Amino acid sequence: MGYQPNAMALAQISWNRQIGNWNFTAYDVFSPRIYQYNIWDVFLSSQSAFGNLSPLERVGRYSLGYGAGDLSNYNPQFGAGLRPSSWNGMAGYYNILGVRAVGTLGPSTKSLFYLYRTDYWDAKFQSITSGLTGGAYIQTGNANSTAYAGYNFASFDSFSSLLNWAVAGVRQQLGPAMTVYAQGGYNWYSGDNKGPSGALATLGIQQRLGQQTAHYLEVGRRVYTPVTGPYGIENYVDYRINHMMGYRSSISAYVGMSERHIATVGNSLTVRYAGAIFNTLFTMRLSAFASSGWAKTASGASAYVYDAWTHRFGLRYNLTQNIQSQAFYQYQEVRSNSSAYNYSEHFIYLGVTKRF
């Protein structure tokens, strides 16, 4: 799927066809869900072509950024409660079945329609939840200036309730070194399960500081729709910077905060995070990386506070043009206000990836 690079799942199939000015895609993705780290991790955000202004990053095992995937990546009860001594691996399975259509409406205007259904089961294939998400967007502009607007909906509680949100945004290139963008909107609930309505807003800047350094800052309030967790609203701020150390090495750092409100369960979750990543290239085939990340999670409903440090070092080796091997060692240290959930973990990963 061209709009979802590096998507991996246990089973994935897609169909694509061009009919006139419209490009139609139908897809199905089936994947197991594993606490805390999903080896076949996938999140198919069909609206990402327009509404997704943020990158996706991880602090160790924790997804951060828009479309972060499973809410359980944030949940401290999952992260600490299922420590290695009691971890049984499989949490369940989910399937995503969707369609999307992108149409050209002239030399500078196009539209998007998307609809996908998610089904989530436990390890014994007993149904946990199902959801339906869809929407429509229109976009106009060029490489230097773009504007878009759209409407989205997401169902929950056996399709008896809807979370609705409408947004409009602009992206503007200010010279060769700076891009600014902004998005505004409104969300509201309908159906049996009501939740708070309110304004949505995103403001961001991407800037290059010379030939070797670039940074990014984004702040806002947005909707998130994880695959296997309840939908909600997120207030966030995220900053990251990248510096090239010659042509072989780079270092990146990031810091931010996310405050999530889950209307259906009346809970809130706050995550503060910071970290750094170093990459270096030894030869055209062999590279190494090292990262260190910190995340502090607080759950409002249970007054639960959770600190995690994650350190990782690894090597990548390109066996061929399309086959890459990877090995890394990870150490994670977890401390919380409940001593029963404190633990440390050593994790070794060996893998090979082939791209077709």
Structurally, the chain folds into a number of domains equal to: 1
**DSSP alpha helices (H): ranges in the chain?**
76-81
- Cα(64)–Cα(238) distance, rounded to whole angstroms? 9
Is residue 267, in this structure, part of any structural domain at all?
Answer: yes
Nearest to 299 by CA among 332, 260, 335: 260
Residue 307 confidence (pLDDT) above 90: no
- Cα(48)–Cα(50) distance, rounded to whole angstroms? 5
Burial of 303: CB neighbours in 10 Å, binned 0-12, 13-18, 19+: exposed
Is residue 6, in this structure, part of any structural domain at all?
Answer: no
Is residue 123, in this structure, part of any structural domain at all?
Answer: yes
The predicted model scores a pTM of 0.72
Q: What is the mean pLDDT of residues 214-218?
A: 90
Tokens for 58, please give them: 């991880």
- Cα(299)–Cα(260) distance, rounded to whole angstroms? 10
Q: What is the mean pLDDT of residues 307-332?
A: 87
Is residue 2, in this structure, part of any structural domain at all?
Answer: no
More confident residue, 304 or 155: 155
Q: Which of 25-34, 164-173, 283-292, 314-323 shows the lowest mean pLDDT across its residues?
A: 25-34
Tokens for 337, please give them: 């206000």
Q: What is the DSSP letter of 214?
A: E
Q: What is the DSSP letter of 180?
A: E
- Cα(244)–Cα(250) distance, rounded to whole angstroms? 4
Tokens for 263, please give them: 């209307």
Is residue 3, in this structure, part of any structural domain at all?
Answer: no
Q: What is the mean pLDDT of residues 311-340?
A: 85
**Domain CATH for 189:** 2.40.170.20
Is residue 75, in this structure, part of any structural domain at all?
Answer: yes
- Cα(11)–Cα(31) distance, rounded to whole angstroms? 7
Q: How far separated are the first and last CA of the chain, in Å rounded? A: 12
pLDDT in tens, 185-198: 999 988 876 777 89
Q: Specify the pLDDT at position 129.
A: 81
pLDDT in tens, 223-234: 877 666 667 888
Tokens for 59, please give them: 């602090």
Question: Residue 65 is part of which domain span?
Answer: 11-354
Q: Specify the pLDDT at position 16.
A: 92
C-alpha dihedral sign at 121, 122, 125, 129: negative
Coil, strand or helix: which one is 73?
helix
Q: What angle do CA 85, 82, 232 make, to 5 degrees?
A: 170
More confident residue, 33 or 307: 307
Q: Specify the pLDDT at position 88.
A: 46
Q: What is the mean pLDDT of residues 324-348?
A: 81
Residue 267 confidence (pLDDT) above 80: no
Number of H helices, E strands in the chain: 1, 19
More confident residue, 139 or 297: 139
- Cα(200)–Cα(65) distance, rounded to whole angstroms? 16
- Cα(248)–Cα(270) distance, rounded to whole angstroms? 37
- Cα(123)–Cα(283) distance, rounded to whole angstroms? 43
Residue 156 confidence (pLDDT) above 80: no
More confident residue, 143 or 72: 143
Burial 155-172 (b: 16+ CB within 10 A, else e): bbeeeebbbbbbbebebe
Residue 53 confidence (pLDDT) above 60: no
More confident residue, 265 or 31: 31
Q: Specify the pLDDT at position 334.
A: 82
Is residue 180, in this structure, part of any structural domain at all?
Answer: yes
Is residue 251, in this structure, part of any structural domain at all?
Answer: yes
Q: How far is CA 63 from CA 71, 93, 158, 209, 226, in A?
A: 9, 18, 26, 27, 11
Contact 210, 198 (CB under 8 A): no
